[in-house]
Amino acid sequence: MLDTIYFHNSVRDYLISFLVLFLFILLAKLVYYLLEYPLERFVTKTKTKIDDKILDIIYLPIIFYVVIFGFYLSASFLTFSDKVGHYAHNIITALLIINSIYFAFKILDIIMVIFLRPIVKKTKSKLDDQLVPLIQRFIKLIIAVFAIFIALENLGVDMISLLTGLGIGGIAVALAAKDSLSNLFGSLSVAMDQPFYIGDIIRFKDYEGVVIDLGIRSTRIRTFDTTEITIPNSELTSSTIENISKRKAVKKVIDIKLSPKNTAKNLERAKTIIEKILEKDPGILKEYYVALIGFDIWGYDMKIVYWVKYNGTYKPYLEVRHRLHSEIVKNLEKAKIPLAFR
């Protein structure tokens, strides 16, 4: 029975092939156990976090390499037709390339996170903070393109003829990739000109929010409604961007209505009280205006103009406004200067 032939292979050949594959799967399990338990416990006890990161990135690719090699070795015990053998070879090659790309991406992430980003954080300039993520993504793009070229070569594609064809059809390719190239150069332009940084609050057209990511193709901002807006970088370079985080102060205007029961003396006292509150508050500029601008049967109109100091953080800005308004209401009540409510 073991010598019975099915599809150019005996039962014995199939059993040997299956046994080899099964042994390599067990070997992959053993490697996973060794990396996941004894080695992980060892690296967690060390002072540095570098070995933890390295272990995180190597154990999955190593396991996949063992399994892929097991598939390759088990297939070598079988005889395939030219067509089936060609497909099997291409599948194994594709798996190797995918695993290698994943491995390369993870190594690049580790290099950036462990070595480059700590150096970048120590510098005063924010330009390198913007460029490092862009460079990281650009290198990943190069790795992916290079891997695709290798895969195509293994599939039997003549790359010289392909590149020649791309040269002949270069105009068509350039037109097709025009938007992508515009976005790429747009991202470089934003990184070099530095109209904003990640974490800044910007206003672009009808959108206002915090910049959360600057990518190769687009920039993402999170609005104060917690929605996420994706803007092509080519649009950012050709439109006006207002960086709200870079303004030193925000102008605020308050119109309050004083009760018609107030006397002229009360109106002057109200003006003096409000001016003293504005003068003492450290959260605003020492430039403010308080004036009686009108009156009617409903009461007296008083306008307050002041500038809140702003460092790009929204919460302290709101706290200053809350403190000022609360002090104004509290002190006017204390002085028995009533407000008008329609």
Write the pLDDT tens digit of every residue in 137-152: 777 777 777 777 776 6
* Most confident stretch, 155-159, 234-238, 273-277: 273-277
217 shares its domain with 87: no
Look up the domain containing 185 and give its range.
180-245
> Per-residue pLDDT for 232 more than 70?
yes
pLDDT value at position 60? 77
Helix (H/G/I), strand (E/B), else coil: 229: strand
pLDDT value at position 295? 92
174: in domain: no
Pairing state between β 299-309 and 249-258: antiparallel
pLDDT tens for each residue of 255-304: 999 999 999 999 999 999 999 999 999 999 988 999 999 998 899 999 99
27 shares its domain with 97: yes
In whole angstroms, what is the distance from residue 223 CA to residue 203 CA? 10
15 shares its domain with 145: yes
AA identity, residue 329: V
| Eight-class DSSP state of 244 | G
Percent of the chain at pLDDT exceeding 70: 68
pTM of the predicted model, to two decimals?
0.42
Domain boundary among 123, 141, 167: 167
97 shares its domain with 145: yes
341: in domain: no
47 shares its domain with 143: yes
CB 118 within 8 A of CB 71: no
Domain boundary among 118, 140, 167: 167
pLDDT value at position 108? 75
Q: Torsion-angle region of residue 218: left (phi > 0), alpha (psi -120 to 50) or beta?
A: beta
Domain count, the chain: 3
80 shares its domain with 158: yes
